[in-house]
Structure 1
Amino acid sequence: MRAITIRQPYADAIVQSSPMPKRIENRSWPLPARYVGVPVLLHSAAAPERHPILPDAWAIPTLYGDRADQLGAILARVTFTGCHMAGDGCDERCADWGHRQVFHWDIANVTPLPSPVPAKGQQQFWAPAADVLASVQQQIEAVA
């Protein structure tokens, strides 16, 4: 299973079940076809985004969880269901979370892990170490 690293607070916005979950990932490159419909691990980067662009509702801390401070760890399993360029095929999910002039990757089937699994991330899609995968798999089976 592959993983993708996303900076906080964006990783938290995907993982949390909030009134306005982030179901779009903004990237400068299109989602590779081989990852459409395939479960991927969501990893929070070791350093947070310096100047995040967040919807206004994020100013209300009670709407969101407490994982935004969890860095350098796998937080969930997700599935990317498709990809489109900003403006082409956008819907209500893009209104709050989609950035302009980038690709929007559609996110579904978010399964948060009960406990984050520490791991060192990489750019692009990457393969976690065997012990990390084993720990993640054990947690996913426990929640299923």
Structure 2
Amino acid sequence: MSAAEFEGDDWIRGITIRQPWAACILAGKLVENRPKPRSWRGWVLLHAGKKKPEPAVLRDPLVARASRGRELHLGAVIGVARLTGCHQDTGSELCSPWAQAGSHHLVLADVQELALPVPADGALGLWKPTPDLVAQVLQQLPDLQP
């Protein structure tokens, strides 16, 4: 399926995630913390933001284990995932070791890493990628479908 067939469709979005959290998603972090809930569901391009990670964050044991041996690409789409839900935990138990109390937790599934990061500009929130960017991702993941 080509990107041209999807042009104008609403099947995919991008989400910009700062490093090292973006790399942690590729390693199994399936909850992304956000200040606001999101109602959109479907495929998302995992875009690593351009800001370098804080050294203290890299020393967190959970982050260190997940990101060990991974290059922390900046300013590029590094994978895709399916956004399947969004919730906010109530009470003292969180849904995941990655979840932050008080945040809305985007639930991710079907994470696929790109072999070659695709340089791109991201944006805040969920954003609509250009057809060219989607085409570059589909070259690496030709079986990806809405």
- TM-score, structure 1 normalization: 0.79
Secondary structure at 2:33 match in 1: strand
Secondary structure at 2:77 match in 1: strand
Counterpart CA distance in 1 for 2:23 and 2:44 is: 16
2:53 paired with 1:52: no
Number of residues paired by the alignment? 132
Q: Where do 4+ consecutive residues of structure 1 move more than 4 Å?
A: none
Identify unmatched segments of 5+ residues in structure 1. Answer: none
Alignment CA distance shift 1:109-1:55 (3 Å):
farther
Q: Alpha carbon RMSD of aligned pairs, Å?
A: 2.5
Q: Report the Cα offset of residue 80 of structure 1.
A: 1.3
Deviations 1:54-80 (A, max 9, x none): 75243457x734132x00000111011
* Equivalent residue number for residue 6 of structure 1: 17
Secondary structure at 2:87 match in 1: strand
Counterpart CA distance in 2 for 1:143 and 1:13 is: 21
Residue identity opposite 1:2 in structure 2:
R
Question: What is the identity percentage for the equivalent residue pairs of Structure 1 and Structure 2?
Answer: 33
Deviations 1:121-141 (A, max 9, x none): 111111222222111011011
Q: How does 1:27-42 map to 2 (within 5 A)?
A: 27-32=34-39, 35-36=40-41, 38-42=42-46
Q: Report the Cα offset of residue 22 of structure 1.
A: 0.8
Residue identity opposite 2:127 in structure 1:
W
Counterpart CA distance in 1 for 2:90 and 2:58 is: 18
Identify unmatched segments of 5+ residues in structure 2. Answer: 1-11
Q: Report the Cα offset of residue 90 of structure 1.
A: 4.0
